[in-house]
Amino acid sequence: MPDTESLPAVALVLSFDVADFETWKSSFDAYRSQRQAAGILGHHINRGKDNPNSLSVYLPATDRAGVEAFFASAALPEAMKAAGVTTTPRFMWMTPVREAVVWDRETPAFIVTHAVADFDAWLQVYDGAFELRRSQGVVGEAANRSLDDPSVAIVYHQAESFDALEALITNPEILAVMEKAGVVSQPEVSWHISGWGERY
């Protein structure tokens, strides 16, 4: 079952494009100590399925204020530019509520964002469908609640293939679970190769 203990207080998914992944990753790795000093507890990188230079980086942290101060520092924009970041980063803040993510290897993954009628009721139904998701090929997952809009659930699923993930989101049983859970908006889905994870 996903972890309900020992979860970080907050997390950020930072999304942006880079000119070259390896160049950016080298610079990103060199900035590890500065991230740690800001209260960031690790990272998990997702590269776009269709554009591997489109990144969504998961950053768990001890508190939001320290991470916001880190990103507001005068030196960071130059460091990101030098690393080859080519777009303005987009910030998605969340409270992690469940985690059973594969950290140590690359896997296909998707991020699903949708509004729910009642988050606590949605989470109860989501928890109850854990074995169903596993039977459909999900090998890693996380559930989060948006900090900026508490009615929004952000779900992360990993599988051994994109075919398994595509079958999952069209599976009638899964769709019935979503309806029962009170999903009230059309889900927004982004597709990724996940990996390059590290806990600090």
- The beta strands (E) that lie in 72-166 are given as 90-100, 107-115, 138-146, 152-159
154-181 pLDDT tens trace: 999 999 999 999 999 999 999 999 999 9
- Tell me the whole-structure pTM to 2 decimals: 0.94
**Domain 10-93 falls under CATH 3.30.70.100:** yes
Q: From 94, 152, 147, select the one nearest 118 (Cα to Cα).
A: 152
- What pLDDT is attached to residue 5? 66
Domain coordinates in residue numbering, the chain: 10-93, 96-194
Partners of 11 in beta bridges: 60, 94
Residue 137: which residues within 8 A CB-CB, separation 6 or more? 159, 160, 161, 164, 165, 167, 168
Q: pLDDT below 70 — which residues of the chain?
A: 1, 3-5
Contact call for residues 162 and 108 (beta carbons, < 8 A):
yes
Domain range 96-194, its CATH number among 3.40.50.1000, 3.60.21.10, 3.30.70.100, 3.40.1390.10: 3.30.70.100
- What pLDDT is attached to residue 97? 98
- What pLDDT is attached to residue 4? 63
Residue 6: which residues within 8 A CB-CB, separation 6 or more? none
Tokens of 42: 């690790």
Within 10 Å of residue 189's Cβ, how many Cβ atoms? 15
Q: Provide Rg for the chain, Cα atoms.
A: 17
Within 10 Å of residue 6's Cβ, how many Cβ atoms? 6
Q: Return d(Cα 193, Cα 191) in angstroms, integer.
A: 7
Q: What percent of the chain has pLDDT over 70?
A: 98
- What pLDDT is attached to residue 6? 86
CATH topology identical between 10-93 and 96-194: yes
